[in-house]
Structure 1
Amino acid sequence: MHKTNISIWSAEFLGTFWLTLGGCGSAVLAAAFPGLGIGLLGVSLAFGLTVVTGAYAFGPISGAHFNPAVSFGLVVAGRMRASALPGYVISQVFGACAAAAVLYLIATGRPGADIGSFAVNGYGIHSPGQYGLVAALLCEVVMTAMFLIVILGATAKPAASGFAGLAIGLCLTLIHLVSIPVTNTSVNPARSIGPALFGPAWASSQLWLFVVAPLAGAAIGALVHRFLLKSSDEAEAG
């Protein structure tokens, strides 16, 4: 299948749109609606399901990154050319912003609507569990690093063919289960940027952490995976 830049960028736009709409939508609409009570588990599962479904829908076209940190990590790991990175990142950010706009229009479409925090990320008094800056930074870096290690391992040639999307989606579900109380979970700069545009004013002032930390974590995860591969190759050669 011949893949053009337009098809790749469109797939990343749509995949990130779906991740943001489905994941953040579950928090803004379902979890906040009285009587539904999907809670932490439901929101975590929603984010995981968007990745699973998006990976199988768009993976054959773009690789299903849906996340600037993932694309950056793949460059660091040597899995993607650096020249391809800007197109991926721009498409992902636009997709997340478009999803946030659609979600905002839906969420405000009933009388007396209150979007609350609009699923934005935060630390300190804006953390769901009141976790401070250092805890939030550490959480986002470590979680993103582990996410990249899982992605790189699940998509490596020796891995079981056809199961990468499931493994990656389950990993993202687990990440949300652990880190929603700390930061409301980012591990994805695009997912953070989109809702911040429509959320409360403080979200923009804290947005830097949810761009910097996932990118740093992605680089760490990529470097760790490269080290593991090198160590494995050396062991086999010995």
Structure 2
Amino acid sequence: MKKLVAEFIGTLWLVLGGCGSAILAAGFPELGIGFVGVSFAFGLTVLTMAYAIGHISGCHLNPAVTVGLWIGGRFESKDVVGYIIAQVLGGLAGAGILYLIVTGKVDFELGGFAANGYGEASPGGYNLTSALITEVVMTFFFLMIILGSTYPEAPAGFAGIAIGLALVLIHLISIPVTNTSVNPARSTSQAIFAGGIYLHQVWLFWVAPLLGAVLAGIAYKKLSPNK
């Protein structure tokens, strides 16, 4: 239960920090943090939580990470469903807190609420094929970095930095295409509040990240020095 609570809190922080920066600060005239600022915000949420709860739950914060670690032989199957449920609920809680904050603004407009999408819901107008390829490839490399940096013989204590910076890079690449998911819990939490086209398209942001994670888990098992 401690692990599940840690995953809930960590995913809440990821959505609150990452999506919150996109909703509250990215377009604010005086701040104007833009895509770069949002990218670093997502990376910082993972980096900070890696050191806060990594020793409790492993700091997955993402159903794709949980599945990828399981496929890669680094996580027990009996805990997969519980972790995913905790992550989705944590994401929803983070999105709920954000919703309460933003609706306190006089001229509030929900818009996309930092949700993910393709076609007309893509920030850059990219189609389904582009979105699918982007999410699969980005998640694949995210999991490869996670599996490699947390390998028992990797330099100790630096995994959180590598993983956090990887997420920054992933966002710098893919925000224009899909608004960057690589995380079904993050996508679901925002789509439920945004509704409409974003909710109709959320299936892709389960299928693509999970596919990328599975491929990474298989690939890393082949590459890993573990017998």
**Where does 1:78-97 land on structure 2 (aligned, <5 Å)?**
78-97=73-92
Identify which range, 199-208 or 142-151, moves more after superposition.
199-208
**1:211 lines up with 2:176 in the alignment:** no
DSSP 3-state at the match of 2:94: helix
- Please give the per-residue CA displacement for 1:54-111, whole angstroms capped at 9, x wherever unaligned: 1100100000000000000111001111111011000000000000010011011111
- 2:149 alignment partner in structure 1: 154
**1:21 lines up with 2:19 in the alignment:** no
- 1:165 alignment partner in structure 2: 160
The change in CA–CA distance for 1:199 and 1:233 in structure 2 (over 3 A counts) is: closer
- 1:129 alignment partner in structure 2: 124
The Cα shift of 1:233 comes to 6.3
Q: Is the 8 A contact 1:28 1:115 kept in 2?
A: no
**1:174 lines up with 2:169 in the alignment:** yes
**1:60 lines up with 2:55 in the alignment:** yes
- Quick one: distance in 1 between partners of 2:100 and 2:39? 23
TM-score w.r.t. the length of structure 1 is 0.93
Unpaired segments of 5 or more residues in structure 1?
A: 1-5
Given candidates 5, 9, 16, the residue that maps to 2:4 is: 9
Given candidates 102, 109, 112, the residue that maps to 1:114 is: 109
**1:44 lines up with 2:39 in the alignment:** yes
- Quick one: distance in 2 between partners of 1:118 and 1:22? 13
- Quick one: distance in 2 between partners of 1:33 and 1:116? 15
Q: Is the 8 A contact 1:48 1:169 kept in 2?
A: yes
- Quick one: distance in 1 between partners of 2:103 and 2:114? 14
- Quick one: distance in 2 between partners of 1:115 and 1:31? 15
The Cα shift of 1:194 comes to 0.4
- 2:188 alignment partner in structure 1: 193
State the number of aligned residues: 227
- 1:3 alignment partner in structure 2: none
Identify which range, 109-118 or 87-96, moves more after superposition.
109-118
- Quick one: distance in 2 between partners of 1:157 and 1:76? 17
Given candidates 179, 203, 210, the residue that maps to 1:184 is: 179
Please list every run of at least 4 consecutive aligned residues from structure 1 whose deviation after the TM superposition is greater than 6 angstroms: none
The change in CA–CA distance for 1:233 and 1:85 in structure 2 (over 3 A counts) is: closer
The structure with the larger Rg is: 1
Unpaired segments of 5 or more residues in structure 2?
A: none
- Quick one: distance in 2 between partners of 1:74 and 1:233? 14
The Cα shift of 1:15 comes to 0.3
- Quick one: distance in 2 between partners of 1:227 and 1:128? 36
Question: How large is the RMSD of aligned CA atoms in angstroms?
Answer: 1.0
